[in-house]
Amino acid sequence: MILYHGSNIDIDKIDLTKSQPYKDFGKGFYLSADKQQAQRMAEQRTSILLEGKPTLNKYQFDETILDDNSLKILRFENTARNGLILFLRTETST
């Protein structure tokens, strides 16, 4: 499955230790199946930080991770704005 993450920088590899705290669901990494939503988030992030450039990061997501207990995954399907959002975090993230 292809998922996207909007940012102000290119993120080649997801590193949950670099996640920022104080997000809606705590420290973690947001991914969306909706390319346009991720692009809007990239533009918003760049506008807030006033640095970098809107960057749409694209990932081939291994769906077997959904059954793996190594990560906590919040899955939001059929939301009003998109079909799927995933929020990844480690067991120890706070």
* 1 pLDDT higher than 90: no
Q: Where are the domains of the chain?
A: 2-90
The per-residue pLDDT for 90 is 57
The model carries a pTM of 0.77
| CA proximity to 93, closest of 25, 3, 41, 9 | 25
- Maximum Cα interatomic distance, the chain, rounded to a whole number of Å: 38
Q: Could you report the per-residue pLDDT of 27-70, keeping only the tens digit for each?
A: 778 888 889 989 999 999 999 999 999 999 999 988 887 777 77
Cα-Cα-Cα-Cα dihedral sign, residues 28, 72, 92, 90: negative
| Separation of alpha carbons 27 and 67, rounded Å | 21
Average pLDDT, the chain: 80
